Amino acid sequence: MRCREAGIPDAVEFATKGELAKLMLTRAFTAGVPAEWVVGDTVYGYDELRLWLEAQQKNYVLAVSETHQVWVQGRPQPVGLVAALLPEEAWVVLSAGEGSKGPRLYEWAWLQLPDETESERAGLLPRVWSGHDHLDRGRAGDRQSLEDRRGL
């Protein structure tokens, strides 16, 4: 009923946000829109979009919920627990840019995490001061800047 009221044709079928994101990104990539990496929050169906981006060989940063499982020492663990168990020296404060109320500061920790196939994946976890999301960093951004600020 809502679709009809909004003027959406009956031929248009339901699509998840992850499916819609893939359609929009396919069009953008095909059109040659320059993009070094793709960023998305938890509503985009983490595994669905992540696997597609990896197949497209695209860099990405995707948020995952605190309960999302990552592989640590050969078994899945909730990313929130992994973050909570990191020592204080693993965290570094970095800005995520200017917000309407000033700099958006987060504490970040860099991890090398294998996936379920035991291949190495990069992990960048923010310790968010005003939320409960953690980020999975797949090939995106520049690890060197984080290492430079930590003195690594």
- pTM assigned to the model: 0.64
Neighbouring C-beta atoms of residue 114, cutoff 10 Å: 14
What's the confidence (pLDDT) of residue 139?
37
Which residue, 10, 32, 3, 47, is CA-closest to 21? 47
Q: What is the pLDDT of residues 89-148, one digit of tens each?
A: 888 888 778 888 888 888 888 877 766 555 555 566 666 543 334 444 443 444 444 444
In the chain, what are the domain boundaries?
38-150
